[in-house]
Amino acid sequence: MDVEEGESLETSIMNCPDKSSFEKHPLVTYAKMSGGKTIPLLKSMITSVCERNCKYCSFRSGRDFHRATFTPDEMASTFLDLNQKNIAKGLFLSSGIAGGGVRMQDKIIDTAEILRTKRKFGGYLHMKIMPGAEYDQIKQLMKYADRVSINLEAPNPERLNNLAPLKNFGEELFSRLKWVESIRKNHDPKPNWRQKWPSLTTQMVIGPSGENDVEILKASDYLIQNFHLARIYYMTFTPVLNTPLENFPAENPMRGHRLYQASYLLRDYGFKFEDFAFDQNGLLDLNFDPKKFWAENNLKGSPLEINRASREELLRIPGIGPKKVEMIARYRKQKKIQSESDLKFLGISLESVSQYILMNGKTPIHQLKFAFE
């Protein structure tokens, strides 16, 4: 299916200062923008009719429920109505496949075109690329969108075949991710709505295809390095009634959480696939943050001198992220980091870093606080 952002949205909703409005409008969910701002987003489909039979999906063909279809004009007007009432600030538009991916892609493009050119909508648009969409369609859609996505659903063709026998991993999905990156590389974005190319995301369903974390993170590493994905969504599987997987157990959400942590390490922290440790089943340890796991095995016996460590080394220390690395670099130009209060000034918790750093050649002393103190 074309729903994504589920994992992050839950967190966003929890953090949203106005989550009461989400509860009042069940069609609207919250999405975190780059830069940290959270906006209410209408997630909708051009049609819930679908000719494909993906085993995990509530919209699969043959499943008995009431289906609905919008024309592009109806979709644009419905969204703008919610926008004017201040209910939805952005639109995430997807679709079931009825009459082929090319036909449905045209309808998504038409909706985007109406919103941007006729109705002058200037807000956030996340538009789905349909399986099998043509190169020129994708290029056209990318002129209007802030973000585009195409869901691989699985890390490789074999696993996809277990989940979605009518989808072709290479020809319909992976090739379209490649095209997005090629368009971004080879064409001038100036004529576009925002004079830049949209970001790109994908989604994988976690659990029912028999995949392990080795396969998922190998694929994620490749996608991040080669296609510069802004994000990979890991949708932990929940069974849907009246589908072939209705009796398949739900996946543990903690597995999705560990995969997100690992993929951020790949995207923002300079980690490579080879840096992760897996058990004999090819799974990450659910009990450990993968960055802490790496630090326990690599830094505990040979801590880094925080006053000399490179940017790449600092990013390996638990409790230190890209923003803190910049702050440390600025601070070190003025003076040395040599006390807990220096760390505090930088917003770094001594408890997180004490086992992995030296300050001026010395191990920081971290005194445990006891309950009776």
Task: Provide the residue count of the chain.
Answer: 373
Nearer to ligand SF4, 52 or 316 (CB): 52
Minimum distance from residue 151 beta carbon to ligand SF4 (Å): 7
**Residue 61 corresponds to which tokens in the numbers above?**
């063909």
Residues 239 and 250 sit within 8 Å (Cβ to Cβ): yes
Nearer to ligand SF4, 38 or 95 (CB): 95
How far is Cα 320 from Cα 189, in angstroms, rounded to an integer?
35
Calpha distance 283→255 (Å, rounded): 9
Q: C-alpha angle with apex 326: 320 to 331, nearest 5 degrees?
A: 100
What is the smallest separation between the CB atom of 240 and ligand SF4, expressed in angstroms?
A: 10
Judged by the rule CB under 6 A, the positions of this chain that interact with ligand SF4 are: 1-2, 50, 52, 54, 57, 59-60, 96-97, 164
Q: How far is the CB of 164 from ligand SF4 (least distance, A)?
A: 6
Q: At its nearest, how many Å lie between ligand SF4 and the CB of residue 25?
A: 23
Nearer to ligand SF4 by Cβ, of 173 and 295: the residue is 173
Strands 199-206 and 124-128: unpaired
Minimum distance from residue 4 beta carbon to ligand SF4 (Å): 11
**Angle, to 10 degrees, between the axis of helix 135-144 and the axis of helix 175-186?**
60
Calpha distance 329→326 (Å, rounded): 5
- Would you say 94 or 354 has its CB closer to ligand SF4? 94
Q: How far is the CB of 2 from ligand SF4 (least distance, A)?
A: 5
**91 strand-pairing partners:** 42, 125
Min CB(251)–ligand SF4 separation in Å = 17
How far apart are alpha carbons 224 and 328 in whole angstroms? 27
DSSP notation for 130-192: PTT--HHHHHHHHHH-SEEE---BSSSHHHHHHH-TT--IIIIIIHHHHHHHHHHHHS--TTS
- Give SS3 for 128: strand
Closer residue to ligand SF4 (CB): 54 or 350: 54
Under DSSP, the state recorded for 212 is: -
Q: Which is nearer to ligand SF4, 96 or 318 (CB)?
A: 96
Query: Collapsing DSSP states into helix, strand and coil, what is residue 275?
Result: helix
Rounded Cα gap, residues 54 and 128, in angstroms:
17
User: What does the DSSP 8-state code read for residue 69?
Assistant: B
Q: Shortest Cβ distance from residue 110 to ligand SF4 (Å)? A: 19
Would you say 4 or 215 has its CB closer to ligand SF4?
4
Name which of 96 and 319 has its Cβ closer to ligand SF4: 96
